[in-house]
Structure 1
Amino acid sequence: MRSEGRGRWWGLFAISLGVAMIIVDATIVNVAVPQIIRDLEITSTDAQWVQEAYTLVFAALLLVAGRFADRSGRRRMFVTGVAVFVAASVLAAVAGSGEALIAARVVQGIGGAMMLPTSLSLLNANFTGREKGIAFAVWGSTIGGAAALGPLLGGWLTTTYSWRWAFGINIPVGLAVVVATLALVAESRDDRAERRVDLLGALLSVIGMTGVVFALIEGRTYGWWQRERPFSLFGLDWTAAISPVPVAGIVGLAVLGVFLVQQVRRNRAGRPALLDLSLFGIASFRNGILAAAIVSLGEFGLLFALPLWYQNVLGYSAFDTGLALLPLAVGSFVASGLGAALTRKRGAARAVQLGVAAELVGVAGLGLVVSPDTSWWAPLGFLFVYGMGVGLATAQLTGVSLAEVPVRQSGQGSGLQSTARQVGSALGIAVLGTVLFAGLGGILTDRLADQPGLAPAQREQVVAAVKESAGAAIGGLAADPRTAPIAQEAKVAFSDATRYAAFAAAGFLLVGLLACLRLPRVDADQAETPPAAPAEPAKA
């Protein structure tokens, strides 16, 4: 990034816009799925993979992408990732079948994985001192704001135009990011890196992460032990009685174990390794990624439950749900300015601690106001506080983790930090999803036990329908006067289950806050400065 003038700040804007694109894409599709099912006539299993294929591939490739960016050039990797993402968005927008759309989502995940850790390493390599804190604040607030804006943008595009524009919007945005990045961001790489590549380590990393993340994401859908529904992908059917989830999880953990042993041996022998274990000797990095993983358990998991509650209990449309979540995005963006000032006065570690505390207050407050007759204004303040916390914690925790990482290893450090966050988020969604739907089933079963005229078999059918539809069946029950009382009970049960999920998220955040108390104080001025001249000049 150009070392003088406004160019580097415009370059920061370009990088942040690229990050916003991949974060929005992870949430924007959620509200478009019902229309996709109707238009492409796909099954519920295919629809699940439209949502999850992107997240699965994205999380599995973060570590590999970050490491290779150090070697091949960080700007080159970022721009290539944007190009791959845009090309896949074109394929998704014109997809004529569920299989084609899933394949396009897989390619989108590859592009996104090339972009996210590389965006962090570019900031770490090209900003220093106080300005690095500001850059990370902008980056972190972009993630928080984009996650909240995704449902709003997705609802508007799907309702006003077509679900295909949920992907088509990436084309002009991506092209603008490529042009701006090439014009304003200088290349950087680790010129001392060994040219040989640890291909076996890369393969083991991807296989292991794929298995673990698949298990975390799909446990609720296919069963944590016994297979609860058919599983198939690209025409391949899983017919065993045992769920594919524990098999994938065990295989993934075993492969990751082999990967770690292989990496230790290569590090000791001085051979090229995907994972440089010397990074874990840096206290701020080691404690930072541990705290990031724990905080991520509760940070975004609640965003899985809230849209379902807004739409299926309060009756909001997809667009109205996006508007209801807008205070979260506003709070996150406001935090970018406050975070830089707070970091200057109190240090990044204190900013992280205050951010996680704000998230804890916001999430717990949301749990207190959730009910079937919640007024539209009741959650707004808590969502704003929650967003403020996300903006502070995400940005400054990233800054603490990478502040003392040598510039030449910034891609690998960013990949590890991003991987820790993604695994934490996947685990958080898995746990909170289980809390939500297990709670929903148990509460609704109890509330319908004394419902007049409802036989036990009918009660089981109603509970199963509400759970399987993630609450969407409530609207149909409410529309029929004969089942309207059952719908009201379902709304109460869903609200109670959402409250439990919120309190579970608050519990994770409390543990994360305790972990953040161990973060060392790292002054931005003491962080490693970028080289005086980049490895390659910025292109005009």
Structure 2
Amino acid sequence: MVSLTGRTRQSWLPLFVLGVGMSMIIIDATIVNVAVPAIMSDLGLSATDVEWVNSIYSLTFAALLIPLGRTGDVRGRRRTFAVGCVVFLAASMLAAAAGSGAMLIGARVLQGVGASMVVPMTLAIINALYTGRRRTVAFAVWGSIIGGMAALGPLLGGWVVTDLGWRWAFWVNLPIGLLVLLGTLRVPESRDPAAGGRDVPGVLLSVLGTSSLVFGLIEGQRYGWFTAGDGGLSPIPFAFLVAVLALSALVLVERARARAGRPVILDLSLLAIPSFRYGGAAAMIITLGEFGLILVLPLYLQTAMGFTAFKTGLIIASLAGGTFLAGGVVPRLPLAPRLIVRLGLGLEASAAIAVGLTVSPSLGPWSLVPWLVLWGIGIGFASAQLPNVMLAGVPARQSGAASGLQSAIRQLGAAIGIAVLGAVLVTGLDAAMAERLPDEPALRHAVRDSAGAAVTAISDPVKHEAAVAAAADATRRVTIVTGFVLLGGVGATLLLPDTGERRPEEE
């Protein structure tokens, strides 16, 4: 059982605190992406160093979501959330003061640890705290924050890096984090009284399996899926093999421990809950599809169209407008949460295909905005309410474990999205460049290998025009594929049960 006072249940202050904490994590990720060129120049980093600045964060974050989600159930969700904020703040200050690539990469590891505590606990606390209509509102706010901050982050990042310097991409977390820590005093504590003990084998297998899988997905393009650039064997197949073995062993070990009544970090009984099982499948597909936009559109607008980072940020920020608009509309819709998810996915898919059909070398700077607003509304409907549906049948005492697994599923979907849609982009660029400039293999390879970034360096007007057209073709292909992937997510939601409320006996 999870005991919460009636007064606490009626308060929106905890939701505000959780929302600000979640915003800190999301804004940091997007600002750091914008700051990469400045970091590279200031610290003298190699291209490999820069890639690890982001990759090591993603690996650490994904690897620890499941074990630290369960930690919240055992040690207390508010406590885990607060400790995560402290770790994230300390790591941010370390990153801001970094004088070398090694120090910055180490700080990013610690940031991943902190983020893997904060993110699942926001969902777990919301799931334990709010019921009924307030639950729908809470998840609508949570989803709006995720979509909105992800869209606003590049705009904010462009301003911070340009006017204040890249170190402020990390210093900005300090006042936000201190506000969140102060606010945690008003967040009620909750835990699973029946949980206890440690599951060391489960933790080790979970970390090894998840990190190997995510490494293989996000680094496949760089190292080669089967063979390396020098003709040798790529490490990616070995990473996938380790992932399969470790995750298979994890399932067997956790089943055996559960039968013996011993503590587990991966509660396989969650997969017996229809809303969680089918919602997880939908979440992976949705996240995979949503990364289509995040992956290609900013790159296309800046490299092929020549837009500034600020103008690109303004255009992408229209996505946030749609997301925040949806957050205000969702609580007023007379629809079950699963129907809201389905409606949102339909809007996202339609907007993605419309973006693909709109992209062209003669693209006006604001012609994408209506479709991005529509996409944002879809995100506000689908991504916001899907956790509501997934966690509806989960007993409150298991909120931490379920939220950690849900977050891991979404992170895995993002990694698959980057791998699959990145491959679609690269092959599309290669085919389009071969069609338009068949006698320029070196140029074709440069554009392909840089994912289009090399377009800006082409000085010949005819070749530049051909490369811009090729980038438009490849971007169009990715966004249309994204639309059809999202339509596949609609199919997954057909299996979701018609429920939006946690079972009362589990309150």
Indicate yes or no: 2:437 matched with 1:460: no
Identify the residue that residue 40 of structure 1 maps to in structure 2: 43
Deviation by residue 1:244-264 (Cα, 9 ceiling, x = unmatched):
112111111211011111111
Q: Are the counterparts in 2 of residues 302 and 432 from structure 1 also a CA contact under 8 Å? A: no
Matches within 5 A, 1:89-104: 89-104=92-107
TM-superposed deviation, 1:379: 0.6
Deviation by residue 1:349-389 (Cα, 9 ceiling, x = unmatched):
10000011111011111101111121122111110011111
Q: 1:215 to 1:406 in 2, by over 3 A?
A: same
Identify the residue that residue 490 of structure 2 maps to in structure 1: 513
TM-superposed deviation, 1:66: 0.7
Q: Are the counterparts in 2 of residues 128 and 527 from structure 1 also a CA contact under 8 Å? A: no
Identify the residue that residue 252 of structure 1 maps to in structure 2: 243
Whole-Å Cα distance in 1 between the matches of residues 409 and 87 of structure 2? 24
TM-superposed deviation, 1:208: 0.2
Structure with more of its chain in helix, by fraction: 2
Whole-Å Cα distance in 2 between the matches of residues 206 and 355 of structure 1? 33
Identify the residue that residue 70 of structure 2 maps to in structure 1: 67
Whole-Å Cα distance in 1 between the matches of residues 249 and 79 of structure 2? 31
TM-superposed deviation, 1:404: 1.6
Identify the residue that residue 125 of structure 1 maps to in structure 2: 128
Q: Are the counterparts in 2 of residues 66 and 117 from structure 1 also a CA contact under 8 Å? A: yes
Q: Which amino acid aligns with 1:493?
A: A
State the TM-score, normalizing by the size of structure 1. 0.91
Whole-Å Cα distance in 2 between the matches of residues 445 and 142 of structure 1? 42
Identify the residue that residue 187 of structure 1 maps to in structure 2: 189
Gaps of 5+ in 1: 230-239, 450-455, 532-540
Q: Which amino acid aligns with 1:295?
A: I
Indicate yes or no: 2:356 matched with 1:379: no
- Residues 468-477 or 12-21, more deviating: 468-477
Indicate yes or no: 2:84 matched with 1:81: yes
* Cα root mean square deviation, aligned: 1.6
Matches within 5 A, 1:259-408: 259-342=250-333, 345-408=334-397
Deviation by residue 1:156-192 (Cα, 9 ceiling, x = unmatched):
111111111111111111111111112x101111111
Q: Which amino acid aligns with 1:248?
A: A
Identify the residue that residue 486 of structure 1 maps to in structure 2: 463
Q: 1:11 to 1:530 in 2, by over 3 A?
A: farther
SS in structure 1 at match of 2:12: helix
Q: 1:471 to 1:501 in 2, by over 3 A?
A: same
Q: Are the counterparts in 2 of residues 129 and 527 from structure 1 also a CA contact under 8 Å? A: no
Whole-Å Cα distance in 2 between the matches of residues 89 and 5 of structure 1? 32
Indicate yes or no: 2:409 matched with 1:420: yes
- 2:59 aligned residue (47, 50, 56): 56
Whole-Å Cα distance in 2 between the matches of residues 416 and 54 of structure 1? 18
Identify the residue that residue 433 of structure 1 maps to in structure 2: 422
Deviation by residue 1:383-439 (Cα, 9 ceiling, x = unmatched):
001111111111111000001211110000111111111101110111011100111
Identity %: 48
Whole-Å Cα distance in 2 between the matches of residues 338 and 147 of structure 1? 20
Whole-Å Cα distance in 2 between the matches of residues 21 and 527 of structure 1? 32
Whole-Å Cα distance in 2 between the matches of residues 178 and 426 of structure 1? 30
TM-superposed deviation, 1:472: 2.6
Q: Which amino acid aligns with 1:27?
A: T
SS in structure 1 at match of 2:321: helix
- Detail structure 1 runs of 4+ shifted over 4 Å in the superposition: none
- Residues 459-468 or 495-504, more deviating: 459-468
Whole-Å Cα distance in 2 between the matches of residues 528 and 398 of structure 1? 18
Identify the residue that residue 475 of structure 1 maps to in structure 2: 456
Q: Are the counterparts in 2 of residues 92 and 105 from structure 1 also a CA contact under 8 Å? A: yes
Deviation by residue 1:191-234 (Cα, 9 ceiling, x = unmatched):
111x22111101100100000001111111221111137xxxxx
TM-superposed deviation, 1:530: 7.5
Q: Which amino acid aligns with 1:187?
A: E
Matches within 5 A, 1:128-139: 128-139=131-142
Q: Are the counterparts in 1 of residues 9 and 130 from structure 2 also a CA contact under 8 Å? A: no
Identify the residue that residue 232 of structure 1 maps to in structure 2: none
Identify the residue that residue 113 of structure 2 maps to in structure 1: 110
Whole-Å Cα distance in 2 between the matches of residues 6 and 65 of structure 1? 25
Q: Which amino acid aligns with 1:53?
A: I
Q: Are the counterparts in 1 of residues 425 and 451 from structure 2 also a CA contact under 8 Å? A: no
Q: Which amino acid aligns with 1:75?
A: R
Q: Which amino acid aligns with 2:117?
A: M
Whole-Å Cα distance in 1 between the matches of residues 478 and 56 of structure 2? 25
Identify the residue that residue 155 of structure 2 maps to in structure 1: 152
Whole-Å Cα distance in 2 between the matches of residues 490 and 430 of structure 1? 23
Whole-Å Cα distance in 1 between the matches of residues 451 and 96 of structure 2? 26
Q: 1:7 to 1:130 in 2, by over 3 A?
A: closer
- Residues 465-474 or 159-168, more deviating: 465-474
SS in structure 1 at match of 2:67: helix
Whole-Å Cα distance in 2 between the matches of residues 8 and 241 of structure 1? 59
TM-superposed deviation, 1:328: 0.4
Whole-Å Cα distance in 2 between the matches of residues 200 and 488 of structure 1? 57
Identify the residue that residue 205 of structure 1 maps to in structure 2: 206
Gaps of 5+ in 2: none
Q: Which amino acid aligns with 1:178?
A: L
Q: How many residues align?
A: 504
Q: Are the counterparts in 2 of residues 448 and 486 from structure 1 also a CA contact under 8 Å? A: yes
TM-superposed deviation, 1:330: 0.9
Whole-Å Cα distance in 2 between the matches of residues 322 and 440 of structure 1? 24
Q: 1:529 to 1:496 in 2, by over 3 A?
A: farther
Whole-Å Cα distance in 2 between the matches of residues 84 and 110 of structure 1? 7
Q: Are the counterparts in 2 of residues 128 and 529 from structure 1 also a CA contact under 8 Å? A: no
TM-superposed deviation, 1:10: 1.8
Identify the residue that residue 24 of structure 2 maps to in structure 1: 21
SS in structure 2 at match of 1:4: helix
Indicate yes or no: 2:223 matched with 1:222: yes
Whole-Å Cα distance in 1 between the matches of residues 51 and 403 of structure 2? 29
Whole-Å Cα distance in 2 between the matches of residues 150 and 354 of structure 1? 26
Q: Are the counterparts in 2 of residues 2 and 8 from structure 1 also a CA contact under 8 Å? A: no
